[in-house]
Amino acid sequence: MPDYFKHISFEYPQVLGLLLIIPFMIAWYLRKGNEQQSSILVSSVEPFRVSSFRTRFRSLLFILRLLAIVFLILALARPRERNDEQLQQGNGIDIVLCIDVSGSMLSRDFQPNRLEVAKEVASEFIRSRPIDQIGLVIFSGESYTLSPLTTDKNTLLTQIQSLQSGLLQDGTLIGEGLATAVARLKESKARSKVIILLTDGKEQPTEDRIIDPLMALDIAKSEGVKVYTIGMALEGYVAVEEKTRSGEIKQTNTALLDEDLLKRISAETGGEYFRARDKMGLKKIYDQIDQLEKVKIEHISFKRIREHFPVFILIALCLLFTETVLRFTVFRKFP
């Protein structure tokens, strides 16, 4: 019964104040019973003690009527069970986050370093997009799809938090990263396809590079993908300790941002280029992108109400009927 009432609310809770008459009824019944008992002074009462069903259960009728009154009061308070559900609907945007994880992302011009700040702000952005499908691509000297497009934000956030430098081959291949991100959107049916590409350096081609940045740009344009580019670095060179794939630590200098390339990629695909110089700046950039790529979300609320007062009335009537039957049968008083 306690578990049952956990899901019950009362439309008229003030009616429950009538339950305060129950203690007075009990007190009245006990007083009346004492007054009706006759007394006689004798040396022993043993010969007068008669035990029968009627004497043992003489209070049953009162208890039944008391319970009936309780259930009637509860019924008047109109108990009900209410379930509220909310459904979110909308035409989502498919977004791929393309994040640089090269060794230079360990630079400490952002505290604690660029990569940790990029992870934190990207996580906040993901939480702010409940309808969209979002994927994750990382790149350095090669590119890799860490998560395809998904609405499973918890899994995606876990993948974001697991990012660290040294997962991939050394280098910075912006073209490879962009091309891989575009490939993740190729089968998308969304009305808008967006890539947010974040890097702190410039293209550092390796011998086995397949796609250069301009080729990746042409691919993005042909697929109708809008690219927002973010340059994440203070002006000038920043000395960092890079962790290579083999675990080796080496001191190096980060390359200057190739802002011209990033601006060209964003401009020719219909996006925008942003420069992040600190953590707050990066947050504002993601907020701007969030506003530029707004999606209409419909919140549909469902309220299901199940009335329970008929059950309480039925129980009260059953108790009154039982009390009446017993009063005129088992507990009938003869003149």
Q: What is the pLDDT of residues 43-53, one digit of tens each?
A: 555 554 554 55
pLDDT digits (tens, 9 = 90+) for 96-145: 999 999 988 988 889 999 999 999 999 999 999 888 899 999 999 999 99
Q: Convert the pLDDT of each residue in 2-13 to its tens digit.
A: 556 666 788 888
Neighbours of 207 (CB within 10 A): 4
pLDDT at residue number 300: 55
Q: 46-102, pLDDT tens digit by residue?
A: 554 554 556 667 788 888 989 999 999 999 998 888 766 655 555 678 999 999 999
- Tell me whether residue 251 is exposed, middle or buried, using C-beta atoms within 10 angstroms of its C-beta: 0 to 12, 13 to 18, 19 or more: exposed
Domain ranges of the chain: 2-37+45-84+303-327, 92-295
Q: Tokens standing for 324? A: 């009446």
Query: Distance (Å, rounded) from C-alpha 229 to C-alpha 218?
Result: 15
Q: What is the pLDDT of residue 48?
A: 47
Residue of 159, 155, 110 lying closest to 282 (CA atoms): 110
Q: How far is CA 226 from CA 59, 262, 292, in A?
A: 82, 13, 12
Strands 193-199 and 226-232: parallel
pLDDT, tens digit, for every residue of 246-305? 655 555 555 578 999 999 999 999 999 999 999 999 999 999 998 888 766 555 556 677
Q: Is 171 left (phi over 0), alpha (psi -120 to 50) or beta?
A: left
Question: What kind of fold does domain 92-295 have according to CATH?
Answer: Rossmann fold (3.40.50)
Residue-wise DSSP of 164-208? -TTSS-SSB-HHHHHHHHHHHHTT---S-EEEEEEESS--B--TT
Please give the span between the terminal C-alpha atoms of the chain, in angstroms, as a whole number. 42
Q: Cis peptide leading into 112, omega within 30 of 0?
A: yes
Q: Return the closest-CA partner of residue 175 out of 200, 221, 210, 148.
A: 210
- Whether residue 238 is predicted with pLDDT greater than 90 in this model: the reply is no
Backbone angles phi, psi at 176, to 5 degrees: -65, -40
Task: Point out which residues pair with 230 in neighbouring strands.
Answer: 198, 274
Mean pLDDT, residues 20-25 taken together: 90
